[in-house]
Copies of this chain bind each other. A is one copy, B any other.
Amino acid sequence: MAADFLFQVFPNSGLPIYRQLIDQVRHHVASGRVKPGDFLPSVRQVALELEVNHMTVSKAYSLLERDGVVELVRGQGMRVAPRPAASENGSVRERQEKLLPLLRQVAAEAYQLNLSTAQVKSLIDRVLKELDQS
């Protein structure tokens, strides 16, 4: 099953290490590879594996905690947080608003790439299918 380690970083990718980690955790959570209640590998374990400073991993974990993705359990580590109730972050409308800036960016980039709306939609279909269905 979990034959591979959860994380993989490219120090020279331009994207900072802690941010790569955050993105990967979010992706793992969204795709269902790690589920609410699961523990993430410890700060030092990840640091050792990836050969980075453990404070860098800690920074990633802390930011994830701030955003409610994981929760700290003292002495045990970081646990994936339960998914909040659908209404907890405001109405559907409000939550959609939060996604809007990112989608505008998608639209502008798609235009630049000369992709038709149909081509974009088929692509987003594909990506959404990767998600945990709930």
Residues of A within 8 A of B (CB): 23, 26-27, 29-30, 67-69, 83-86, 88-89, 92, 95-96, 98-100, 102-115, 117, 119-121, 123-125, 127-132
- Establish whether residues A29 and B111, one from each chain, have CB atoms under 8 Å apart when the complex forms: yes
Contact of A96 among B85, B88, B123 (CB under 8 A): B123
Can you sample 13 A-B contacts with CB below 8 Å? Answer: A23-B108, A26-B111, A69-B112, A84-B114, A89-B114, A95-B114, A98-B109, A99-B110, A102-B105, A104-B127, A107-B128, A117-B128, A121-B121
**Interface residues of A: mostly helix, strand, loop or mixed?**
helix
Given the complex, which residues of B lie within 8 Å of A121, measured CB to CB?
A: 121, 124-125, 128
Asked whether, in the complex, the Cβ of A86 is within 8 Å of the Cβ of B102, the reply is: no
Contacting residues, chain B, for A125 (C-beta < 8 A):
121
Whether A107 contacts B92 in the complex (CB less than 8 A), given A112-B69, A113-B99, A123-B100, comes out as no
